[in-house]
């Protein structure tokens, strides 16, 4: 496969509200290292990733440089960008820093278990479909409920996936989608795939991530992550 230039935008602007911690979740220690370290390390060591753009919380740029990028040798991180009020603002700011064409990986820094196999599948799928996202089929039955909590529908479990990151796109495609989002102020979006679906009316291919590719959001997630590291 011909190598296209690949940029990884790693989002590290989240807070620790559901973690119940004053320390933002991406900076909490897991296995003796910050949660954010693990995804950065995966992209740093990947044969597919050429550049990393780190999107940090406002005022945390220098902290990330001194305490994460430099100590752990994340040399592919060419830029640290200030995040925005909402996730989509942070992605938009990251995209503004992407100056090279090719493909863009958008990844939550609180997902520490991305690996080279997931990255490889992302490259293979974006080269075929232009827009794709990691995910896994659900294991449980899912119920759609109304505003009062009563069941309205039970979708076929075989057709329901848990969506993860990285979400991977042709660079110009995702830039155009976000340009329209910011112009039209369509704010009810929860991930990058949804931006492409709604703004460009294009299908997004899901590819296998991993059940271990969890997002560290609660204290229980941190304990599970510690167990994954031990294993």
Please report the DSSP string for the chain in residue order: -PPPPEEEEEEE----TTTT-SS-GGGSEETTEEHHHHHHHHHHH-SS--EEEEEE-TT-HHHHIIIIITTTT-TTEEEEEE--SSHHHHHHHHHHT--S-SEEEEEETT-TT--HHHHHHHHHHHHHHSEEEEEEE-SS---EE-TTS-EEE---GGG-EEEEEEEEEEHHHHHHHHHHHHHHT-----SHHHHHHHHH----EEEE--TT-----SHHHHHHHHHHHH-
Q: Which range (3-7, 39-43, 149-153, 184-188) has the least confidence?
A: 184-188
Asked if the model's pLDDT at residue 31 lies above 90, the reply is yes
Secondary structure of 98-150 in HEC code, one letter for each residue: CCCCCEEEEEECCCCCCCHHHHHHHHHHHHHHCEEEEEEECCCCCCEECCCCC
Q: Which range (22-26, 67-71, 82-86, 98-102) has the least confidence?
A: 22-26
pLDDT value at residue 186: 65
6-230 is classed in which CATH architecture? Alpha-Beta Complex (3.90)
pLDDT for 34-68, tens place per residue? 999 999 999 999 999 999 999 999 999 999 999 99
Q: From residue 131, how far is each of 117, 123, 167, 201, 210 by CA, in Å? A: 18, 10, 8, 11, 19
Asked if the model's pLDDT at residue 15 lies above 90, the reply is no
The C-alpha atoms of residue 197 and residue 130 are separated, in whole angstroms, by 12
- Tell me the Cα Rg of the chain: 17
Q: What average pLDDT does this structure show over 74-101?
A: 95
Beta bridge partners of 205: 132
pLDDT for 89-139, tens place per residue? 999 999 999 999 999 999 999 999 999 999 999 999 999 999 999 999 999
> Phi and psi (nearest 5°) for 107?
-135, 140
């Amino acid at each position: 496969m011909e190598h296209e230039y690949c940029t990884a935008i790693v989002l590290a602007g989240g807070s620790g509200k559901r973690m119940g911690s004053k320390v933002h979740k991406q900076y909490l220690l897991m296995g003796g290292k910050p949660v954010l370290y693990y995804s950065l390390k995966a992209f740093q060591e990947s044969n597919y990733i050429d550049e990393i753009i780190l999107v940090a919380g406002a005022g945390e740029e220098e902290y990330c440089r001194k305490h994460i990028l430099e100590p752990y040798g994340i040399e592919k991180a060419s830029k640290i960008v200030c995040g925005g009020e909402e996730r989509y603002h942070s992605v938009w700011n990251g995209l503004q820093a992407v100056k090279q064409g090719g493909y863009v990986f958008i990844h939550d820094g609180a997902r520490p278990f991305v690996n080279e196999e997931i990255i490889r599948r992302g490259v293979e799928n974006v080269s075929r479909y232009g827009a794709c996202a990691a995910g896994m089929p659900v294991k449980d039955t899912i119920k759609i409920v109304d505003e009062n909590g009563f069941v309205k529908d039970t979708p076929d479990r075989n057709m329901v996936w848990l969506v993860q990151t990285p979400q991977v796109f042709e660079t110009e495609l995702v830039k155009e989608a976000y340009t329209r989002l910011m112009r039209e102020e369509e704010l009810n979006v929860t991930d990058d795939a949804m931006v492409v679906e709604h703004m460009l009316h294009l299908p997004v291919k899901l590819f296998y991530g991993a059940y271990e590719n969890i997002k560290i959001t609660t204290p229980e997630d941190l304990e599970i992550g510690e167990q994954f590291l031990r294993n």
